[in-house]
């Protein structure tokens, strides 16, 4: 990526579901001659769409937005459209984790003018540096990011954001039948036999799913235990699980021993 000309205004997008906080931050940004605000998003889904359409240089993302929080926005944006990221939060403990996730900076609410100026300077320096190429890779590849996402999330996932063409589908987790990893891809199969690919590691996704519902059955598969309708023995002490959808999954030998106690105990 070529170095950015200093005289060109920073193209900024702000995403925050709380209008007063969003208005306060945009008002501060408009006081900066080096900034042009290209968009404002009131929720995470809009933020993903606007980032990909408007291609800002930097996005200021609230960490605690409902449905899609700031970290989930980063995970869903196409890598080719990824701007630099500044996280905004009212909670310092979350901000520290977000900063470790390769964000350019974090800001605590209410944002102070001097602190914002320092952040914008850091953004300028990052854009002009040779390291910017490495910072525009998909954030979900970072184990620190997924750990931070787990910390920010309010308990277990209720909906899983997945891509369907150019849209984002908020998939209720109770509709998930199975999640399988194949090489670099993680595929989600629903109870209606829909299939989606998610850009997150299986073990990081497992950490955000309710273990009372979802069972790890092998190194490469998780299934919805409430959909298991048949358990069959296979050679070598392994079990084959048949789901209500007709999908058949094979549990590893170690997991099969655990599943026998869990599923077959009267």
| Structural domain boundaries in the chain | 10-152, 159-263
Element (H or E) spanning 124, and its range?
Answer: helix 113-128
Question: In whole numbers, what is the pLDDT of the chain averaged over residues?
Answer: 82
pLDDT for the residue numbered 148:
37
Percent of the chain with pLDDT over 90: 47
Instruction: Measure the CA–CA gap between 62 and 15, rounded to whole angstroms.
Output: 6
Other C-beta atoms lying within 10 Å of the C-beta of residue 222: 24
Of 151 and 99, which is predicted with more confidence?
99
* Pick from 214, 215, 260, 218: nearest CA to 237: 260
pLDDT at residue 97 is higher than 70 = no
Element (H or E) spanning 28, and its range?
Answer: helix 19-30
Query: Each residue of 49-81: pLDDT tens digit?
Result: 999 999 999 999 998 888 888 888 988 888 888
Top-level CATH class of 10-152? alpha beta
Element (H or E) spanning 126, and its range?
Answer: helix 113-128
Instruction: Measure the CA–CA gap between 203 and 198, rounded to whole angstroms.
Output: 13
Half-sphere exposure of 54 (CA within 13 A, CB side): 21
Is the dihedral angle over the CA atoms 101, 27, 81, 124 positive or is it negative? negative
Q: Are strands 228-233 and 221-224 parallel, antiparallel or unpaired?
A: unpaired
Q: Tell me how many helices (H) and strands (E) the chain has.
A: 9, 15
pLDDT at residue 130 is higher than 50 = no
Other C-beta atoms lying within 10 Å of the C-beta of residue 53: 12
**3-state SS class at 103:** coil
Within 8 A by CB and 6+ apart from 29, the residues are: 12, 14, 35, 37, 60, 116
Instruction: Measure the CA–CA gap between 243 and 226, rounded to whole angstroms.
Output: 9
Q: Are 195 and 172 in contact, with CB atoms under 8 Å apart?
A: no
Residue 156, Ramachandran bin (φ over 0: left; ψ between -120 and 50: alpha; else beta)? beta
pLDDT for the residue numbered 1:
36
Of 132 and 178, which is predicted with more confidence?
178
Instruction: Measure the CA–CA gap between 122 and 84, rounded to whole angstroms.
Output: 11
CATH architecture of 159-263: Beta Barrel (2.40)
pLDDT at residue 225 is higher than 50 = yes
């Amino acid at each position: 990526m070529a170095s950015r000309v200093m005289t060109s205004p920073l193209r900024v997008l702000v995403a925050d579901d709380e209008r007063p906080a969003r208005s306060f931050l945009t008002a501060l940004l408009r006081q900066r001659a080096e900034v042009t605000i290209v968009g404002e998003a009131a929720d995470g889904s809009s933020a993903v769409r606007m980032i990909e359409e408007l291609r800002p240089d930097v996005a200021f993302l609230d960490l605690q937005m409902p449905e899609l929080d700031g970290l989930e926005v980063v995970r869903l944006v196409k890598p080719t459209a990824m701007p630099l990221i500044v996280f905004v939060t009212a909670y310092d403990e979350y901000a520290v984790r977000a900063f470790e996730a390769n964000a350019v900076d974090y800001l605590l609410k209410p944002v102070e003018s001097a602190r914002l100026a320092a952040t914008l300077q850091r953004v300028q320096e990052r854009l002009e540096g040779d390291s910017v190429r490495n910072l525009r890779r998909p954030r979900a590849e970072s184990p620190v990011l997924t750990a931070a996402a787990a910390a920010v999330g309010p308990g277990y996932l209720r909906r899983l954001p997945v891509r369907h063409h150019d849209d984002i589908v908020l998939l209720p987790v109770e509709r998930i039948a199975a999640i399988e990893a194949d090489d670099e891809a993680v595929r989600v199969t629903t109870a209606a036999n829909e299939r989606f690919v998610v850009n997150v590691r299986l073990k990081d996704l497992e950490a955000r799913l309710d273990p009372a519902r979802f069972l790890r059955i092998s190194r490469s598969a998780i299934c919805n235990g409430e959909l298991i309708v048949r358990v069959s023995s296979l050679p070598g002490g392994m079990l084959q699980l048949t789901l209500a959808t007709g999908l058949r999954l094979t549990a590893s030998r170690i997991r099969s021993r655990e599943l026998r106690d869990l599923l077959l105990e009267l």
